[in-house]
Structures are given as structure tokens and as C-alpha cells.
């Protein structure tokens, strides 16, 4: 049954299928993560690829890099943006629905890094809030809508990148992905898109696309843009990037339990890291791979001669609690540590922030393992005091 619009306006909304912007499990992912968890140069190489996406997002922000039309192996029209190493693809597919009682289609957004082989993806349903004033709801309508769905989503990504570039270009950036993304998506959802001449067969002149339900998904994308952009401006003498990946079958809560030194330049996008999930739609190669949830944040020191220190807590739902300590002192060696938390987060810091000379660290818990690795214990990286920590829960 179709409830038809009484005007020349069509409203489309999105409903998430995936949570966040997860990593796709591929044949090479395990080897990539194992290498990155060795510590030292391999960890550094892993994070440098993340940092090098700054050029991709900066070019998206200023319009130097645009989405171009293409087709997937099945002949479906797609749009692609590529820097040569970083590729992003949007693909929208009709569901077969002929009324508004079911999702009208599916949109998949893929981001891939050729050097690391890391691929991330999100997917969401495309829903018609009402049927157009006239004409049939079906494949032809979806095909006519597809270019506008692509262009409006590309505009959202461009707006995100442009605003984050401005926010990152300051001495003391402080970016909260959750707050930031709500503002961006609210503005995009209220924007009228002219479709005059393209959808006249359905009596349409304007289109509104509702992005609000994608706030969590895109709040996870925001740090991927912001962290390398903040680093590229080099306004601070010391940086720490922290990436957490949940490669387990348990749900985790993630929190910054204590921050004895420094400040957050890019906050965590979420307080939860859901367990490995599987999608019920094909991705890329035509299969249905597992998806790993991630969280990315960044910290800076507050003055020229000060330190960075954090205590994270990753707690399994209904299971053991874990704490992770990262210490980046102004003088001396860095520290990473994982284990059972002390009586308080500050006590955990006091007990475990002293240097242990470890580039990698493994802690066993009931039902899961926490592996940590850092790029170096002290010194500069390409002329910058930048340090990175990878945490994988498995």
C-alpha cells in the first residue's frame, strides 16, 4: 500500500543496517593485525597509513578530489573517490520493493586502504517516507533517485571533512564526534534538493534526505577524518593516537577512565564496541563477511614540556573488567600496560604507568585477550613526537 505525497516533494530516510563503520574481515586482515601488534616499525607503518589519509580527506574537503561515476562488476552504477591509495565507494541497490511498507533499497559505503588492505564498510536501508505524487514505485524510480542519493551523501562527507579541517587547524583542537555529527546531519536533512526535470514522471520537484538515523555510523567516521587532519597541522609538540578493535564475540564498553596528563584532541566516537557481527547483504566481493567494531581517538599534551597519560577501561558485558594504561612522558620512555584495574582509575595509573620497556603487551582475561602495541618508546617520528597505540581485543 502506498500513501502518496500531496505535493511535489519526496522524503527519503536512512535506517542503519551496520553499527558504526566496522572493519571488514578479509583473508589478509589477521596477518595485517598480527604484524601491527608486534610493536615498533610494523605498528608505525600501520598507523602511518591511517595518517596518510589526511590528504584524501583534505582533498575531499576542498573539492580537489571528487566522486566520479562508475559501475560495479554486476553493472550497478556506483560513485568512487580515489587518491591512488585510499578508495571510497558508494553503491545503492534497489530492494525490489514496489510500495513503501518495505525498504526501497540499500546503500553501502566502503573505504579501503590499498597499502594495508584494511577495508571498512557501513550499510543502511533507503526508505520512502511516502510514495511520490504519481507514477509507479519501483526500479525506474530508484534509478532516477540514485544520482541524488549519491550526491547528497557525498555532500555530507564533504561537509564533515571541511568542518573538521577547520576545527583541526588550531593550537588546541577539541573535537567531539558525537556532538559534531548531529549538527552536520541535522543541516543536511533540512536541505531541499531540486530534482526538477529528472523525476517529472513522478510529479516531483524537490527531495529531502533524512540522515539523522546515521549519527552513530558517521560519528565513527569523523575521527578517521579528524585524527590525521589534526596531525597534519603540527600545532602541538606531542601527539598520541589510540585505535581499539574488538575482534571478539563479546560486547564491550569503552571509557576514558582517567587522564592524568594531556587532553583529548579527538574524543572517542562511542562508549560501546559491539561483538563481531555478520551482515545479511553482499559486500564488494559478493560474500557476507564478519565485521569488527573500532574506536579511534587522539590526545595531545597541554604545554610544550608536559606529558600525555591515559587510563582506558574496556569491560566485557557480564564479564571481566580490563584496564589499559598509556604513558607518554615528556622525559623518559613510554609505557603500555593492560590488566585488571586497581581500586580506582587513578590508582591503576599510579600502579602501572612506570616504564616497562615493552613495545607490545598481552593480558589474558576470562573469555578474552587484550593485545597492545606501540610504535616506539621515545624519540621523534619523521620530525614529530607522534606515538600510536593499537589495542585489539580477541
Q: What is the mean pLDDT of residues 167-190?
A: 88
Q: What is the mean pLDDT of residues 125-137?
A: 92
* More confident of the two residues 356 and 27: 356
Cα–Cα nearest to 30, from 334, 289, 331: 289
CA–CA dist 219, 215 (Å, integer) = 6
Handedness of CA 229, 232, 237, 243 (dihedral sign): positive
Confidence of residue 286 (pLDDT cuts 50, 70, 90): low
Among 80-94, 226-240, 344-358, the least confident range: 226-240
Confidence of residue 229 (pLDDT cuts 50, 70, 90): confident
Strand pairing class (308-316; 290-300): unpaired
* More confident of the two residues 247 and 179: 247
SS (H, E, C) 68-125: EEEECCCCCEEEEEECCCEEEEEEEEECCCCCCCCCCEEEEEEEEECCCCCEEEEEEE
Confidence of residue 124 (pLDDT cuts 50, 70, 90): very high
What stretches of 238-354 adopt beta strand conformation (E)?
238-246, 252-261, 263-266, 272-273, 277-278, 290-300, 308-316, 321-328, 335-339
Which pLDDT belongs to residue 349?
Answer: 97
Residues 343-363 as b/e (b if ≥16 CB within 10 A, e otherwise) read eebeebbeebbeeeebbbbeb
Residue 87 clears pLDDT 80, i.e. is over it: yes
Strand pairing class (238-246; 385-393): parallel
Q: What is the mean pLDDT of residues 313-336?
A: 94
Residue 6 clears pLDDT 70, i.e. is over it: no
Confidence of residue 318 (pLDDT cuts 50, 70, 90): confident
Confidence of residue 270 (pLDDT cuts 50, 70, 90): confident
Which pLDDT belongs to residue 287?
Answer: 64
| Residue-range domain boundaries for the chain | 9-218, 233-393
* DSSP label of 232: H
Which pLDDT belongs to residue 58?
Answer: 84
Q: What is the CATH code of the structural domain delimited by 233-393?
A: 2.60.270.20
Residue 54 clears pLDDT 80, i.e. is over it: no
Provide the total of helices (H) and of strands (E) in the chain, helices listed first.
7, 21
Residue 231 clears pLDDT 80, i.e. is over it: no
Which pLDDT belongs to residue 133?
Answer: 85
By percentage, how much of the chain surpasses pLDDT 70?
96
Which pLDDT belongs to residue 281?
Answer: 65
Residue 51, SS3?
helix
Give the tens place of pLDDT for each residue, 70-80: 998 888 899 99
Question: What average pLDDT is seen over the chain?
Answer: 90
Residue 203 contacts by C-beta under 8 Å, 6 or more apart in sequence?
Answer: 8, 132, 133, 134, 135
Which pLDDT belongs to residue 107?
Answer: 94
Q: What is the mean pLDDT of residues 331-335?
A: 94
* More confident of the two residues 196 and 217: 217
Amino acid at each position: 500500500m502506498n500513501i502518496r505525497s500531496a505535493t511535489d516533494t519526496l522524503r527519503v530516510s536512512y535506517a542503519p543496517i551496520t553499527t558504526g563503520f566496522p572493519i571488514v574481515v578479509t583473508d589478509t586482515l589477521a596477518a595485517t593485525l598480527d604484524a601491527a601488534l608486534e610493536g615498533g616499525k610494523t605498528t608505525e607503518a600501520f598507523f602511518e597509513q591511517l595518517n596518510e589519509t589526511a590528504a584524501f580527506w583534505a582533498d575531499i574537503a576542498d573539492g580537489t578530489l571528487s566522486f566520479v561515476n562508475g559501475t560495479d562488476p554486476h553493472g550497478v552504477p556506483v560513485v568512487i573517490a580515489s587518491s591512488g591509495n585510499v578508495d571510497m565507494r558508494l553503491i545503492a541497490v534497489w530492494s525490489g520493493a514496489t510500495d513503501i511498507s518495505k525498504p526501497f533499497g540499500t546503500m553501502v559505503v566502503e573505504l579501503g586502504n590499498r597499502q594495508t588492505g584494511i577495508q571498512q564498510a557501513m550499510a543502511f536501508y533507503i526508505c520512502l517516507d511516502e510514495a511520490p505524487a504519481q507514477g509507479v514505485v519501483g526500479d525506474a524510480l530508484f534509478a532516477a533517485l540514485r544520482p541524488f542519493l549519491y550526491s547528497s551523501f557525498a555532500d555530507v562527507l564533504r561537509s564533515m571533512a571541511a568542518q573538521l579541517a577547520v576545527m583541526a587547524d588550531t593550537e588546541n583542537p577539541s573535537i567531539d564526534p558525537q556532538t559534531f555529527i548531529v549538527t552536520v546531519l541535522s543541516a543536511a536533512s533540512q536541505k531541499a534538493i531540486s530534482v526538477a526535470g529528472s523525476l517529472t514522471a513522478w510529479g516531483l520537484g524537490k527531495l529531502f534526505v533524512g540522515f539523522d538515523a546515521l549519527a552513530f555510523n558517521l560519528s565513527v567516521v569523523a575521527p578517521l577524518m579528524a585524527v590525521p587532519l589534526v596531525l597534519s597541522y603540527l600545532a602541538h609538540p606531542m601527539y598520541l593516537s589510540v585505535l581499539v578493535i574488538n575482534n571478539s564475540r563479546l560486547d564491550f564498553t569503552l571509557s576514558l577512565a582517567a587522564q592524568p596528563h594531556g587532553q583529548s584532541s579527538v574524543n572517542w566516537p562511542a562508549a560501546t564496541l559491539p561483538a563481531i557481527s555478520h551482515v545479511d547483504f553482499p559486500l564488494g566481493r559478493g560474500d557476507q563477511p564478519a565485521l569488527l567494531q573500532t574506536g579511534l581517538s587522539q590526545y595531545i599534551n597541554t604545554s610544550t614540556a608536559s606529558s600525555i597519560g591515559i587510563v582506558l577501561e574496556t569491560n566485557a558485558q557480564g564479564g571481566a573488567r580490563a584496564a589499559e594504561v598509556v604513558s607518554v612522558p615528556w622525559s623518559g620512555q613510554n609505557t603500555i600496560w593492560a590488566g585488571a584495574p586497581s581500586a580506582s582509575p587513578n590508582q591503576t595509573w599510579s600502579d602501572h604507568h612506570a616504564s616497562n620497556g615493552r613495545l607490545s603487551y598481552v593480558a589474558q582475561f576470562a573469555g578474552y585477550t587484550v593485545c597492545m602495541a606501540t610504535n616506539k618508546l621515545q624519540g621523534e617520528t619523521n620530525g614529530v613526537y607522534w606515538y600510536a597505540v593499537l589495542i585489539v581485543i580477541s
